[in-house]
Amino acid sequence: GGGKPEAKAIVVIVVAVVALLGAAVLFVTTGQPRNTKPTATQNVAPATGPQSYSLNEFTIKGATVLQAASVSLTARNTGQVAHQLTVLKTDLAASKLPLKGGQVVEDAPGIQVVSPGSDVNPGDSQQRSVDLSTPGNYLFICNIAGHYGWGMYSELDVTQGN
């Protein structure tokens, strides 16, 4: 096939750019989820004593396995906007809680509020005692509109002590 070499070069460049963009999108969309729960095979020892959780855009970081007890929790906002640390007990899938207006419906069937959250401003901390004496599945969420939907939650497995 004839044709101008400049036209062929432009087609090759366009195809290369499209391929690179496709690879970048594939990489971004198949990356590891931000909120991962340790598997049973990892044998994570349950944390005990006072616990501290870091709130940031849009993650909650801290222990994911705790021994059943009444726990002193500290929520530190290391982000740039206000966040909350609401503690729920639920067997619902962490990413599938019912929403209304961008917030988790805290009184929905299958959700028990163990400790309601209140706003923690950037740079501030909030400390409170939370009753986690019943083993089971818990969730830490930020229930400021939109934050949960952006992945700001963390699963917590509360286990019976030895």
95-147 residue pLDDT tens: 999 999 999 999 999 999 999 999 999 999 999 999 999 999 999 999 999 99
H-helix segments, 3-158: 5-29
Q: Answer for the pair 151, 35: CB distance below 8 angstroms, yes or no.
A: yes
Confidence tier at 33 by pLDDT (50, 70, 90): very low
Beta-ladder partners of 140: 87, 154
pTM: 0.72
Residue percentage of the chain with pLDDT more than 90: 68
Q: pLDDT tens, 74-94? A: 999 999 999 999 999 999 999
| Amino acid (1-letter code) at residue 41 | T
Q: What is the pLDDT, as a whole number, of residue 12?
A: 77
- The pLDDT of residue 44 is 67
Determine if the peptide bond prior to 58 is cis (ω within 30°): yes
62: Cβ contacts below 8 Å, ≥ 6 apart: 51, 52, 53, 54, 140, 154
> Tokens 């959700």 — which residue?
111
pLDDT at 25: 57
Q: Mean of the per-residue pLDDT values for the chain? A: 85
Number of residues written out for the chain: 162
* Rg of the chain on CA atoms, in Å: 22
State the DSSP string of 66-92.
Answer: EESEEEEEEEEE-SSS-B--EEEEE-S
